[in-house]
Each structure stands twice: as structure tokens, then as C-alpha cells.
């Protein structure tokens, strides 16, 4: 239990009850091929969708690995995070489930964020071993862990990608972003990541008439190869409004095509019903537990 940290508040969320099977989170990383492609927005809002779209208690944690100027928590809150990743790193010897939960920003009952430090200088305090310890524990506490990873990819971020089950490479259809996506895919291949570990998310995708000079899907496939693709449409007005209000897109405009795309993405990573089956197993386990 932490007691010496200013602003400490008790965990709002209890760790898994005794006898319950440990959760084993899927780790999903979001990497933008170029700053501004939308990785943070999509990761945060996918987290919110996954944690809110059914009633079976899917628990989601987003870890902001943009350690210097991370802003994930600001996308769904309008006040500074009271705890952050560097603080956890400084007290890593005391890391346990209570400490972890007390260090999170609670967005909704099932969606929390481990924020990046407000002070950019504190970013250097977070080392690979801290990330490992946090992930080792967090996978037992959550169903999904989303990692917001920006370029450049240093040792810590590469460890985050190594530990991810799936990588969403977020790009837009403009040449510099596509070129970077191509280079990152080559790097992922050289790291030995299987091809289906990485999915390209083409954000702000417009159909032919509205596309102007942006590349089309055929051209993107030509440049990037037969990677799995997922497209998210452009929704400048409602996305900007959600970000400026510090609210999830679902609360600002649940009719938005961008929101519908996020729901489809959520469905692809966790088809509805899967968690219900897990809940059923969970109940059985608890009944059998001494």
C-alpha cells in the first residue's frame, strides 16, 4: 500500500477477488507511422468502446508510452492526471495490484489509463524493467492492455512491441506517412514479428471522390504489401470536438462513422459473446474454488 505519495487515494477498483482466475490480458499496441496519424485518439477511444459495449465487465487498461509529452489521459479527462508511470517506476519495489490500481486514472468503471508524466523530464525515470514489471502484473488484472506507442522507437518501446500480441500500425494515405509505414513494416519483419501480428489501420480514409491526392487502397496495398488493413473514416468535426472537450467520442457523437469504425475494430479484437463465455467459466471456477 502506498502512503507517502502526495494526492494518494485509495484504489477505486478492487483487485480480482481471491479464488478468481487471473485475467490474462491481450496486449494491443498502437503505433503511428508519423506523428498526427491518430494512434492516440484511436487507442484511447478503442479502449473506451471495449470497456463499455457490453455488460460483462471487460476491463481495459491503456498505458501511455509517449513518456515525454503523452496526452492520452487528456483525451478523456479535463484535469491533469494525479498519478503517472514515472511515479510507479520510482516506487517499483512496492508494485502490487493495489498500488497499480491506485496509480491509474479511472475513465469509466472498467477503463483506466496509466498516464505519462506531466513533467517531460520524468520520462527518463521509466526503464525497460519497470515496463516489464507493470505488464507482468497488469496482464493478470485486465482483459485488454492498449499501449500508445509513438515513434521514434527506443529500447523501451521495442520491448512494448515485443510483448504485444498485436500491433496496429496507424497511418494516413499521404506519402510521407505511407513511406514510414513501409519502413516500419520492414523493421517489424526484421524483428521476426509474424506478418499477422501487424495490422495497418488507415485512418481518415476517404473514398475516391473525396480523396484528392491521397493514395487509394489499391495503391496502399501496392506499397505496403498484403498486410491486413482496417480503415477508419475522416470525422474532423466530431473528433476535434471530443478531443477539445476531453470526452470519449461515444459521448460526443455516437452516430459518427468514426465511432462505428471503432465499434467494428472492437468487434474484431473481441467478438461480443466471447467475454460472456469467459464470465460463465469465471463463475464455474469461483464455485469450484475452495
Instruction: Closer to ligand ADP by CB, 101 or 148: give it.
Output: 148
Q: Which of 191, 155, 152, 197 is nearest to 28 (CA)?
A: 197
Is there binding between residue 157 and ligand ADP (CB under 6 A)? no
The C-alpha atoms of residue 206 and residue 214 are separated, in whole angstroms, by 8
Is there binding between residue 40 and ligand ADP (CB under 6 A)? yes
Is there binding between residue 40 and Mg ion (CB under 5 A)? yes
Is there binding between residue 33 and Mg ion (CB under 5 A)? no
Is there binding between residue 176 and ligand ADP (CB under 6 A)? no
Q: How many CB atoms sit inside 10 A of residue 11's CB?
A: 16
**How far from the centroid of its chain's Cα atoms is residue 190's Cα?**
24
CB of 173 within 8 A of CB of 213? Answer: no
Is there binding between residue 18 and ligand ADP (CB under 6 A)? no
Burial letters 53-79, b for 16+ CB under 10 A, else e: bbebebbbbbbbbbbeebebbbbbbee
Instruction: Closer to ligand ADP by CB, 41 or 142: give it.
Output: 41
Q: Shortest approach of Mg ion to residue 254 CB, angstroms?
A: 23
Q: Shortest approach of ligand ADP to residue 10 CB, angstroms?
A: 32
The C-alpha atoms of residue 103 and residue 88 are separated, in whole angstroms, by 7
Q: Choose which of 27, 29, 39, 224 interacts with ligand ADP (CB under 6 A).
A: 39
Instruction: Closer to ligand ADP by CB, 161 or 243: give it.
Output: 243
Please give the residue ranges that form the binding site for ligand ADP (CB under 6 A): 32, 35-41, 170, 203-204, 232, 234-236, 239-240, 243, 258
Amino acid at each position: 500500500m502506498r502512503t507517502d505519495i502526495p494526492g494518494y487515494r485509495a484504489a477505486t477498483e478492487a483487485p480480482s477477488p481471491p479464488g478468481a482466475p487471473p485475467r490474462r490480458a491481450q496486449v494491443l499496441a498502437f503505433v503511428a507511422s508519423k506523428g498526427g496519424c491518430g494512434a492516440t485518439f484511436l487507442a484511447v477511444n478503442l479502449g473506451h468502446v471495449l470497456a463499455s459495449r457490453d455488460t460483462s465487465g471487460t476491463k481495459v487498461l491503456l498505458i501511455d508510452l509517449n513518456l515525454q509529452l503523452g496526452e492520452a489521459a487528456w483525451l478523456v479527462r479535463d484535469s491533469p492526471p494525479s498519478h503517472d508511470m514515472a511515479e510507479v517506476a520510482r516506487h517499483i519495489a512496492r508494485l502490487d495490484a493495489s498500488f497499480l490500481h491506485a496509480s491509474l486514472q479511472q475513465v469509466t468503471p472498467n477503463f483506466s489509463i496509466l498516464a505519462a508524466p506531466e513533467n517531460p523530464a520524468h520520462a527518463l525515470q521509466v526503464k525497460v524493467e519497470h515496463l516489464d514489471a507493470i505488464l507482468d502484473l497488469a496482464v493478470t488484472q485486465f482483459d485488454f492492455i492498449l499501449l500508445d506507442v509513438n515513434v521514434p522507437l527506443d529500447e523501451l518501446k521495442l520491448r512494448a512491441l515485443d510483448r504485444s500480441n498485436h500491433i496496429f500500425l496507424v497511418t494516413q494515405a499521404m506519402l510521407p506517412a505511407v513511406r514510414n509505414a513501409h519502413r516500419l513494416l520492414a523493421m517489424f519483419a526484421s524483428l521476426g514479428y509474424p506478418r499477422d501480428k501487424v495490422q495497418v489501420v488507415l485512418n481518415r480514409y476517404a473514398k475516391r471522390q473525396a480523396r484528392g491526392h491521397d493514395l487509394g487502397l489499391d495503391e496502399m496495398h501496392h506499397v505496403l504489401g498484403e498486410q491486413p488493413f482496417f480503415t477508419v473514416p475522416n470525422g474532423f468535426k466530431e473528433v476535434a470536438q471530443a478531443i477539445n472537450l476531453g470526452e470519449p467520442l461515444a459521448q460526443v457523437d455516437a452516430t459518427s462513422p468514426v465511432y462505428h469504425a471503432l465499434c467494428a475494430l472492437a468487434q474484431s479484437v473481441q467478438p461480443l459473446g466471447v467475454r460472456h463465455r469467459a464470465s460463465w467459466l469465471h463463475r464455474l471456477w469461483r464455485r469450484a474454488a475452495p
